[in-house]
């Protein structure tokens, strides 16, 4: 949709602004080797994350001219209509055509932005046929995961393990206060709410480790409520499930 030559500098600028706004001083303390939490901009790994990133770039491309054009016009007018000997000031004070134009064009821009945005929201909120179902429960201050179709295995405060290139559908809730399960590279941030169920889905395109953290202030140890997702091959996943089942049986 947008050429990569254009996208790269725009991405860097947008990610930097976002990072500074989000993390402030803390951002400077992240070691270069650590995968930073802003990776969703550069390294989306799910269809939702790609969609969110492309939509963000599209919105940027449509809205940035509105930021630049008035400044250019302002400086042009300051220069063009500066005080000069003998210059006659203008005597009109409105222009109906211009006002109609600068109302209709931004209004149309909003429509242009709304169409792909609503499509994306529908895509995010429509659950696909699940290959693996999981249940996520937020607790002060850790995450609990269950695999209802795999012997109801339950793990707490350890990495979530899921197979690569499979539809994972997660039912989420909270045992105490509102938390939010946020994994930037997946393009997902979903509240977990006590007494209610929320749902997300993701399909990760490559194996690896992906970081996240609770994104809803939930108490004193909120900042320690980290998320690690280990995405593995189907074979590794099956072996892991068998191991966990044995672990459970032994308990
Ligand atoms: Cu929290």
What's the pLDDT tens digit per position in 24-73?
444 444 444 455 555 667 789 999 999 999 999 999 999 999 999 999 99
Cα Rg for the chain, rounded, in angstroms?
24
What is the per-residue pLDDT for 91? 86
What is the per-residue pLDDT for 40? 64
Q: Can you tell me the distance from the alpha carbon of 95 to that of 71, in angstroms, rounded to the nearest whole number?
A: 20
Selected from 3.20.20.70, 3.40.50.620, 2.170.120.40, 1.10.287.90, the CATH number assigned to the domain covering 4-125 reads 1.10.287.90
The pTM (predicted TM-score) of the whole model is: 0.77
Distance 232 CA to ligand 1 centre (A): 27
Confidence of residue 1 (pLDDT cuts 50, 70, 90): very low
What's the pLDDT tens digit per position in 187-245?
999 999 999 999 999 999 999 999 999 999 999 999 999 999 999 999 999 999 999 99
Q: Can you tell me the distance from the alpha carbon of 44 to that of 57, in angstroms, rounded to the nearest whole number?
A: 13
CATH of domain 132-250: 2.60.40.420
Q: For residue 188, which of 48, 58, 50, 42 has the smallest C-alpha distance?
A: 48
User: Which one has a higher pLDDT value, 17 or 107?
Assistant: 107
Domain ranges of the chain: 4-125, 132-250
- The secondary structure of residue 33, as a DSSP letter, is T
Distance 41 CA to ligand 1 centre (A): 23
Distance 119 CA to ligand 1 centre (A): 30
User: Which one has a higher pLDDT value, 124 or 17?
Assistant: 124
What's the pLDDT tens digit per position in 86-113?
888 788 888 999 999 999 999 999 999 9
For 194, the 3-state DSSP assignment is strand
Distance 157 CA to ligand 1 centre (A): 14
Say if residues 215 and 186 touch (Cβ distance below 8 Å). no
Asked if residue 82 has pLDDT above 90, the reply is no
Say if residues 208 and 231 touch (Cβ distance below 8 Å). yes
E strand spans, the chain: 132-139, 142-147, 153-156, 160-163, 168-174, 179-183, 188-192, 198-202, 208-214, 226-232
Q: Can you tell me the distance from the alpha carbon of 179 to that of 219, in angstroms, rounded to the nearest whole number?
A: 10
Strands 168-174 and 198-202: antiparallel
What's the pLDDT tens digit per position in 126-153?
999 999 999 999 999 999 999 999 988 9
What's the pLDDT tens digit per position in 158-186?
999 999 999 999 999 999 999 999 999 99
Distance 188 CA to ligand 1 centre (A): 15
Distance 200 CA to ligand 1 centre (A): 18
């Amino acid at each position: 949709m947008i050429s990569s030559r254009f996208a790269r500098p725009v991405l860097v600028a947008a990610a930097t602004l976002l990072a500074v706004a989000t993390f402030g001083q803390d951002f400077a303390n992240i070691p270069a080797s650590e995968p930073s939490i802003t990776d969703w901009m550069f390294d989306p790994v799910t269809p939702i994350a790609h969609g969110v990133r492309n939509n963000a770039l599209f919105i940027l491309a449509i809205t940035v001219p509105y930021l630049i054009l008035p400044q250019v016009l302002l400086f042009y007018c300051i220069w063009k209509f500066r005080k000069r000997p003998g210059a006659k000031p203008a005597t009109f004070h409105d222009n109906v055509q211009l006002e109609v134009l600068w109302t209709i064009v931004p209004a149309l821009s909003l429509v242009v932005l709304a169409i792909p945005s609503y499509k994306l929201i529908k895509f995010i909120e429509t659950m696909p046929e699940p290959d693996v179902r999981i249940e996520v429960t937020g607790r002060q201050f850790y995450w609990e995961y269950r695999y209802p179709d795999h012997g109801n295995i339950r793990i707490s405060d350890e990495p979530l393990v899921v197979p690569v290139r499979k539809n994972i559908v997660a039912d989420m809730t909270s045992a105490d206060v509102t938390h939010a399960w946020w994994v930037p590279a997946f393009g997902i941030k979903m509240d977990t709410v006590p007494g209610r169920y929320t749902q997300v889905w993701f399909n990760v395109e490559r194996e690896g480790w992906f970081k996240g953290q609770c994104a809803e202030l939930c108490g004193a140890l909120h900042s320690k409520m980290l998320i690690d997702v280990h995405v593995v091959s189907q074979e590794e996943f099956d072996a892991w499930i068998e191991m966990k089942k044995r672990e459970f049986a032994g308990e």
